[in-house]
Amino acid sequence: MNTFAMTTKYIDIQGVEQTFKTKKGLFPALREINLTVAKGEFVALIGHSGCGKSTLLNLIAGLTTPTQGVLLCADKEIAGPGPERAVVFQNHSLLPWLTCFENIYLAVERVFGGKENKAQLKARTNDALAMVGLTAAAQKRPGEISGGMKQRVGIARALSMEPKVLLMDEPFGALDALTRAKLQDELLDIVAKTHATVVMVTHDVDEAVLLSDKIVMMTNGPAATIGEVLSVELPRPRNRVALADDAQYQKYRKAVIDFLYTRQAHVEKVA
C-alpha cells in the first residue's frame, strides 16, 4: 500500500503478520505490514495504545519473530536481535549495579572489543557520554541520576554501538514535558550529526512531526495494520519555536490528529 520509491530500501518489511498465543486463544496483533525505511531516514510509528507499534519495533529489533512475512535489514533477513540494530528501551533498562560509564562500556566492549584496545574502548565510551552531555555523571549509578539523564545514558549506550539502525520505544514517554523537549532537541542534533536511521515508537503527535521524515500511522488493534504514511517534508535543521506557527507544520500536525482522533477514534468505546 505504501511503496514509496525510496532510493535505498534499508529496512524492508514484507507482508508481516504477528499472532500471539494467549490463554484465550490466538490474538492477532499485526497483519499485512508492508513498510520500507531508507538509509538515514527518521520514521515515527504512531497510533493508540495497543495498536501493536511496540510489537512492530520488537520485530525489527529481532526480539520476536513474525508469524508470517519477512523483515530485511540491509538485504539480510532479521533472524534475531543484534547490536547493529540498537534499541533504546521505554524504561531505559540500564543495569542498576553498573555506573553510567560501565553500562555503556558493556555495549562498546561487545561491539568493538574484538578489534580495538582498552584505551580506544574507553575513549568511545567517553565520547558517547559527552554526546549526551553526561561526562560529569560517568561514575554515577543509574539510581543516583534523574529520569531524563537515565534516558540519555540509554541513548548514549545505543549510539555508542554505531548501529545501522536506532530503534526507540517511546524513549521520552516517561519524562516530563520540559525534559522531553530538551531531549528531542538533543536527538535532532545527534541524528543530524550521525545520519542515523531511526525508527521510533511514539504516541506524541508533536514529537512525531518535529522529528520524523515519515510518520507511519497505525490502525487500532487487534489485527492492526498501517493506516496511512505521511511524508514530513520540513527542512532541517528544525526548530520547535519557529515551527510552532509554521503553516506546513500545522498541516502535518492536523493530518496526524485527524487520523488518530477522527478515523481511528473507536478505541475509547472498546475500552
Q: CA–CA distance from 196 to each of 59, 136, 159, 200, 214 (Å)?
A: 19, 25, 9, 12, 14
- Pick the stretch among 43-51, 106-114, 118-126, 207-215 that binds other proteins (CB under 8 A): 106-114
Q: Is 143 in the site for other proteins (CB under 8 A)?
A: yes
Q: Is 87 in the site for other proteins (CB under 8 A)?
A: yes
Q: How far is the CB of 247 from other proteins (least distance, A)?
A: 40
Of the candidates 247, 128, 124, 106, the residue with the CA atom closest to the CA atom of residue 193: 128
Which CB atom, from 87 or from 137, has the smaller least distance to other proteins? 87
Q: Is 10 helix (H, G, I), strand (E, B) or coil?
A: coil
Q: Is 74 in the site for other proteins (CB under 8 A)?
A: no
Q: CA–CA distance from 6 to each of 9, 37, 57, 134, 185 (Å)?
A: 6, 8, 21, 36, 26
**Of residues 217-236, those binding other proteins (CB under 8 A):** none
**From candidates 11, 45, 51, 61, binder to other proteins by CB under 8 A:** 61
With the C-alpha atoms ordered 132, 135, 138, 139, is the resulting torsion angle positive or negative? negative
Which CB atom, from 175 or from 230, has the smaller least distance to other proteins? 175
Rounded CA-CA distance 129/72 in Å is 31
Rounded CA-CA distance 137/100 in Å is 7
Q: Is 156 helix (H, G, I), strand (E, B) or coil?
A: helix
**Residues forming a β-bridge with 169:** 201
**From candidates 14, 67, 68, 91, binder to other proteins by CB under 8 A:** 91
Amino acid type, 44: A
Q: How far is the CB of 260 from other proteins (least distance, A)?
A: 28
Q: Is 56 in the site for other proteins (CB under 8 A)?
A: no
Q: How far is the CB of 138 from other proteins (least distance, A)?
A: 17
Which CB atom, from 110 or from 266, has the smaller least distance to other proteins? 110
Q: How many residues at the interface with other proteins, by CB under 8 A? A: 27
The residues of the shown chain that bind other proteins, judged by CB under 8 A, are 61, 63, 80-83, 85-87, 89, 91, 93, 95-98, 106-107, 110-111, 141-144, 147, 161, 174
